[in-house]
Amino acid sequence: MAKIAVDYKLCKKCGICAAFCPRKVYSFNALDGLKAAREKECVACEKCVIMCPDFAIRVIREKG
């Protein structure tokens, strides 16, 4: 389990995180923007953190 914190002030809606997430955690479209819709699926691999060009995503690991 992990918690995803997206900083919407920094997000430029490029959709890279949504496209490259191996667990398809994010839902993204140009109208609604980005949402971590399936947060429960996240395994905290942090690929989105590394691929985000704007340092807008933080993945907080939860114990257990």
Partner 1 sequence: MTRKTGEMFLKRELLPFFWCSGCGNGIIMGCIFRAMEESGLSRENTVVVTGIGCWGKADDYFTTHAFHGTHGRALAVATGIKSANPSLDVIALVGDGDGATIGGNHLIHAARRNADITVIMSNNNNYGMTGGQYSGTTPFGAITSTSRYGHAEDEFDVSELVKTAGAGYVAKGTIANPLQLQKFIEKAFQKRNGFRFVEAMNICPTYYGKNNKTGNAPEMIEKLRKNTVEIKTARAAEPHELKGKIIVGEYADKEVDGFIKRYKEIQKKASVVSRK
Binding residues (CB under 8 A) for partner 1: these are: 9-10, 12-16, 18-20, 46, 50-55
Q: CA-CA distance, 53 to 10, in Å (whole number)? A: 10
Q: CA-CA distance, 33 to 61, in Å (whole number)? A: 24
Residues in the chain, overall count: 64
Task: Provide the minimum distance between the beta carbon of 31 and partner 1 in the complex, in angstroms, as a whole number.
Answer: 15
Task: Provide the minimum distance between the beta carbon of 41 and partner 1 in the complex, in angstroms, as a whole number.
Answer: 19
10 vs 43, beta carbon nearer partner 1: 10
Task: Provide the minimum distance between the beta carbon of 40 and partner 1 in the complex, in angstroms, as a whole number.
Answer: 22
Distance of CA 23 to the CA centre of its chain: 11
